[in-house]
Chains A and B, each alone.
Chain A
Amino acid sequence: MRKQSRITVILAVLLGISLLLSACQSAPAPSASSSKPEEKAKTESKEPYKIGVLTTLTGPPAFVGNDIRDAAVLEVERINAAGGIDGHPIELLVEDDGGDPSKAVTGLTKLIRQDKVLAVTGPFIGPLEASLRPVAEREQTPFVVICPTIPELRAKKDKYAFNIAQPESARVGAWLDILKGNKYTKVAGITSNDPVLLASFKLLQTEARAQGIEVIVLPDAVDPNAVDLTPEVTKLKELVAREKPQAVVSGVWPPSTPTLLKTMKQLGVEIPTITYDAAADPFLFAMGGDELNGLLLPGGKVLAGEALPDSEPQKAVIIDFKKRYEGKTGRPASALAGDSRDAINIIANALKVAGPDKAKIRDAVEKTTNFVGVNGVYNYKPDDHEGVSKESFAIYEVKDKKFVFLRVVK
């Protein structure tokens, strides 16, 4: 027995050392990382305005969820350092949605009822939106959603929910820009089984037809969690052999995109590939290398940064944000970080006009006009709670693990 316990101790020490080693090597954690109130204001005199952030901090999508929190913290620090909202500091409350609808609903309800926030931003995971919108609506709390919405939810005309991410019409506009730019007249489509993307492909087919471009979408949507895509690519191969399209438009989820391209190459499906905006994030390159070369995609302008033409109104905002965000976190500024920055500023601007009154804040958000953000120039209207169009996208080509800026969508 004594011998056994000695081995245990040695092993425990070894494991401890190896864990420590790996922890020391990992990137510096952002300073504000708990779900406690993030900011102690310099202007202590006036009562703080509370804003809630609902994002995914645990579970598989957490690696992008941190970007949303860190960008929100960064903006709140900036606003408070400049004197807050008429002297009222902003207090940020962060809740983890765990990527799970029931956890997200609990988190949102807690933020609204217990923490009494004036407005909430988040989440970025599409499937959570449907269960969260009714809560914000019932609690009459302004809710600036980061993920894109779907036609079914848009049709409900919620009063309190606004979206930051581009609607599918913007994505389709950007895709058509790419298709026309390359003079494609016949393309194939493959997509993950995701309502946002299915709606995008439906719209693409109609709009492309009006412009003389035929889009043949593979009837089977790809399982978003599929590990091996050989069966899907085999189906695509048959479609390509039969219809001879000039390119493939892919709505396959970004984590599977390198696998898709690698499998296409292996099975000899050599055809230009266009994917969608969610893939425009540097995390793509941790998973794939050469097979990504030549991939065309629309994406937020934040990736282009200095490469944007000077005539671009968003350029100054983007460069300022990138500098501050990258300086603080040590990570490249992603589109989602920019989305979070825009959401906080739209809410802060509304607070400036409306004060701590949720109904008035909602009205003020709806009146947002020409707000130049990182993700786009926002113009919310009573019948348009998405506020951005295809012009907010830039087009990139992947070259050697970099997104090379080609042009802004016109």
Chain B
Amino acid sequence: MSAANLLQLLVAGITMGAVYGLVALGFVTIYRCSGVVNFAQGEFVMLGALLTVYLLKVAYLPYPAAAAVAVVIVVLVGVLVYQMVVAPLRQASVLSLIMATLGVSLFIQNDALVAWSARPAALPPFSGDIPIRLGEVSVVPQSLWVILMAAVVLVALYLLNNRTLFGKKMTATATQPLAAGLVGISTGSMIRWSFAISAAVGAFAGLFLAAMVPMNFASGTTFGLKGFVAAVLGGWGKSTGAVLGGLALGIVEAFSAGLLPTGYKDAIAFLVLILILYYRPTGILGASLAGAE
């Protein structure tokens, strides 16, 4: 395979990797604050995509308005998930919480199936689909949008966590909930915020993604799983790790599909995961328990 084609695969890998990374960021944001693994994270991605499609093509809102309204609705759904499912189960075991979020995931999926049928739908690209040619390598503008989005979200989360009082409160909630409560932080409200932020990140990932590939009600499962793998790969609980893990997964996938028979793509990706976890059980950056970093 020529160098140009290898670079092409790298571009494809980075693009998909940025999407996985965004989904992983959603997992990590909730986990860091509350210790909950939210398996409905993929559904936020799907809802972000399908709501935008609906608002754009059926309700005829302008593109930016459709996207904004979709994100707001997904954030409300995220808060609702916390309020109605996670909050009442705060005292339950982790296993029960995981089961509950899986239930939420099925619930949202099937509502989406009823509301929009199962037909895949796509969004128009944000800024046309004329590829930018760098020598023999073509880069679609949408790829750049996705990569930019991942970078912006990562930086924003970093600043939020490390430079604001609000972020400090979230970190305090994660590190020592009891002490945080004693100094007057409303831990419940902090965790609610983490669900809101995760839902927003997921919705953005979804609507950026739908401009590249058609999505339907079941797409959330695929991306939820890949995002989870990315989060584990990068070092469970770390934001930068999530993005790194996403990029690593995307690049490994693209190269294995491009260089080997394509059927091995998932096998190779999961083999890499097993190897990394075997030799480095804490992920690329080393896992952090809720609150470290």
Contact = CB atoms under 8 A, between A and B. Distances in A.
Contact of B122 (A14, A60, A258): A258
A262 interface: yes
B20 to A, nearest CB: 11
B119 interface: yes
Given A8-B83, A18-B73, A238-B1, A227 B222 contact: yes
A61 B58 contact: no
The prevalent SS among residues of B at the interface is helix
Given A63-B119, A226-B257, A288-B122, A7 B83 contact: yes
B140 A266 contact: yes
A66 B114 CA distance: 12
Interface stretch (A78-86, A149-157, A216-224, A378-386): A216-224
A237 B137 CA distance: 12
A25 B57 CA distance: 12
A45 to B, nearest CB: 39
A234 interface: yes
A403 B117 CA distance: 23
B261 A220 contact: yes
A258 B262 CA distance: 19
Contacts of A283: 119-120
B262 A226 contact: yes
A238 B116 CA distance: 39
Contacts of B265: 223, 226, 231
A227 B188 CA distance: 37
B258 A231 contact: yes
Nearest to B256: A231
B192 to A, nearest CB: 9
Nearest to A66: B117
B262 A62 contact: no
A12 B138 contact: no
B54 interface: yes
Contact of A22 (B15, B76, B115, B258): B115
B122 A231 contact: no
Contact of A4 (B5, B73, B188): B188
A230 B262 contact: no
Contact of A231 (B9, B83, B118, B131): B9
B80 interface: yes
Given A227-B213, A262-B129, A60 B218 contact: yes
A177 B2 CA distance: 36
B262 A59 contact: no
Contact of B138 (A4, A11, A268, A291): A268
Interface string B195-222: 0000000000000000011101110001
Interface residues of B, number: 54
B121 interface: yes
B76 A14 contact: yes
Contacts of A25: 58-59
A26 interface: yes
Interface string B119-150: 11110100001010100001010000000000
Contacts of A7: 79, 83
A255 B214 CA distance: 8
Interface string B251-293: 0001101100111011000000000000000000000000000
Contact of B9 (A14, A59, A234, A289): A234
B113 interface: yes
Contacts of B80: 8, 11-12, 15
A92 B214 CA distance: 35
A230 B76 contact: no
Contacts of A234: 1, 5, 8-9, 12, 258
Contacts of A14: 76
Nearest to A289: B124
A235 B258 contact: yes
B9 to A, nearest CB: 6
Contacts of B84: 8, 12
Contacts of B212: 228
Interface of A: 4, 7-8, 11-12, 14-15, 18-19, 22-23, 25-26, 58-63, 66, 193, 219-223, 225-228, 230-232, 234-235, 237-238, 255, 258-259, 262, 265-268, 283, 286-289, 291
Interface of B: 1-2, 5, 8-9, 11-12, 15-16, 54, 58-59, 73, 76-77, 79-80, 83-84, 87, 111, 113-122, 124, 129, 131, 133, 138, 140, 188, 212-214, 216-218, 222, 254-255, 257-258, 261-263, 265-266
**Shortest Cβ-Cβ A-B pairs, 5 listed:** A230-B12, A231-B257, A231-B258, A287-B214, A63-B118
